[in-house]
Amino acid sequence: GAGVSQSPRYKVAKRGQDVALRCDPISGHVSLFWYQQALGQGPEFLTYFQNEAQLDKSGLPSDRFFAERPEGSVSTLKIQRTQQEDSAVYLCASSRTGTRGETQYFGPGTRLLVL
Amino acid sequence: AQKVTQAQTEISVVEKEDVTLDCVYETRDTTYYLFWYKQPPSGELVFLIRRNSFDEQNEISGRYSWNFQKSTSSFNFTITASQVVDSAVYFCALSVRSKLSFGAGTTVTVRA
């Protein structure tokens, strides 16, 4: 079946602009995760949903970052007033039931460049 | 807090050589899960293997094998008879609840 998809794949924004990144999880997957990967580093956790409930947003770096999953399927990560330090790859992952320690399957990522 | 350390930044080998990637983790939880992911140049993280903290049995899956030792908090990964297509960044990750904590990654280059 189809994997996790993300759009856009690439986004260039001017400093101060708002951006919205979309994630389509694997069909039927209950849990959805967002990670941020800076150049040359491992992914860092941002936030986690189980269905439409946002259960953990401890990794969001500032109140400029906001994520939602209103119908428990597609999710959007929004970054307001982008800064240069927001430049990174944003990865989305989903897992089937959200059980502790379950395997997460990743999408191709959105590469964000803030000028 | 959870922490994953991958001390090797880069490894370069010639095709058909074996490659062993080191991973050391830290957690106070007694139940946890360990993963290896591969990130080829295309950028997508590809799941390779998963182990839980109660299963120290080491296994082989095709050209992949792993060595999980709780006594040293290590979860090493070996690619046997490497191929050019194995060139990628490999990440070790730890999960205690739901989120993954990743190491910094090891870049593997396999030369023909």
Q: Tell me what pLDDT residue A3 has.
A: 94
B37 contacts chain A (CB < 8 A): yes
B43 contacts chain A (CB < 8 A): yes
When CB atoms are compared, the residue of A35, A56, A105 closest to B47 is: A105
For B44, which residue in chain A has the nearest alpha carbon?
A: A108
Confidence of residue B3 (pLDDT cuts 50, 70, 90): very high
Q: How far apart are CA B104 and CA B16, in angstroms?
A: 26
Contact A43, B45 (CB under 8 A): yes
**Mean pLDDT of each 10-residue bin along chain A, 115 residues long:** 91 98 97 96 97 95 97 96 98 92 95 98
Q: In terms of Cα–Cα distance, which of A36, A27, A10, A35 is closest to A74?
A: A27
When CB atoms are compared, the residue of A31, A43, A109 closest to B98 is: A31
Does pLDDT of B51 surpass 80?
A: yes
Beta bridge partners of A45: A35
When CB atoms are compared, the residue of A41, A106, A111 closest to B45 is: A106
Does pLDDT of B60 surpass 80?
A: no
DSSP state of A86: G
Q: Tell me what pLDDT residue A2 has.
A: 84
CB atoms under 10 Å from CB of B9, counted, come to 10
Q: Tell me what pLDDT residue B103 has.
A: 97
Contact A23, A107 (CB under 8 A): yes
Does pLDDT of B43 surpass 70?
A: yes
- CB-neighbour burial class of residue A7 (10 A; exposed 0-12, middle 13-18, buried 19+): middle
When CB atoms are compared, the residue of A43, A102, A105 closest to B102 is: A43
B28 contacts chain A (CB < 8 A): no
B64 contacts chain A (CB < 8 A): no
- Number of A:B CB contacts under 8 A? 67
Q: How far apart are CA B60 and CA A94, in angstroms?
A: 26
Contact A46, A27 (CB under 8 A): no
A45 contacts chain B (CB < 8 A): yes
Name which residue leads in pLDDT, A98 or B72: B72
Which of A 54-83 lie inside 8 A of B, CB atoms?
Answer: 55-56, 59
Region B74-79: mean pLDDT is 96
Number of separate helices (H) and strands (E) present in chain A: 0, 11
For β-strands B106-111 and B10-14, DSSP reports them as parallel
A1 contacts chain B (CB < 8 A): no
A101 contacts chain B (CB < 8 A): yes
Q: How far apart are CA A46 and CA A62, in angstroms?
A: 10
